[in-house]
Amino acid sequence: MIAIIDYGAGNIKSLQFALEKVGLSAQITIDETVIATSDAIILPGVGAFQDAMQALNNQGLTEIIKREADNGKPVLGICLGMQLFYEISEEDGESEGLGLLKGRVSKITGKVKVPHMGWNTLSKHQSSPLVNQIPDHSFVYFVHSYAVKEYAKKTLIATCDYAGTIPAIVQRGNIIGMQFHPEKSGDIGLKLLENVKEMML
């Protein structure tokens, strides 16, 4: 069973439906026992970094997520959920994240529309089971105004180009992040979730 952390982010039901389509049972929860006994954790994401971290802290979820991640449990972060993995975000002033990955989240800048909203292509940087049978330059769906700008290059699985290089898929061991929404990315998104399933279970 997959524990989807309910910290007030949107689109959780569509994510739960997509997981069920690839054969993963998922429960939306903030219950520590459910999280502790789950096979994997997902941090979904729509919203603002500070608000999300405040919700996690207020619900006592921050330490639970860190503990389970440190114990080797697979944790997938989607969109804002991926950004929460990092040490610092500059959204609405500097805020501390979960610190599961080294790096900083900054506003997208340049001669592009913000938010970055719509379909963009993935460029693979290294082989990983996460991108098995995912053709290079596959389209996935993004909605975000901030992106990871400082990161450890060895964690970089795939990027997209939007006023520069944006990390799109990252991984450090059991910590997996996707800046886009696989649940909104059609067959490619479902295949990515299948790949995550193979790694998680």
pLDDT value for 200: 79
Locate the domains of the chain by residue range. 2-200
pLDDT reported for residue 11:
66
Catalytic residue among 32, 87, 181, 198: 181
Considering Cα of 95, then 98, then 102, then 106, what sign does the dihedral take? negative
187 burial class (0-12, 13-18, 19+ CB within 10 angstroms)? exposed
The parts of the chain modelled with pLDDT lower than 50 are none
Residue 10 is predicted with a pLDDT of 63
Class of domain 2-200: alpha beta
Cis peptide bond N-terminal to 115, omega within 30: yes
Whole-model pTM: value is 0.96
Tell me, what DSSP letter sits at residue 11? -
Residue 1 is predicted with a pLDDT of 94
Exactly one of 116, 144, 160, 183 is catalytic; name it.
183
pLDDT tens-digit series, residues 127-140: 999 999 999 999 99
137 is catalytic: no
| Active site (annotated) includes residue 79 | yes
Annotated active-site residue in 68, 79, 116, 125: 79
Q: Are 12 and 49 in contact (CB under 8 A)?
A: no
Task: Clarify whether 116 is annotated catalytic.
Answer: no
Q: In the prediction, which pLDDT does 66 show?
A: 98
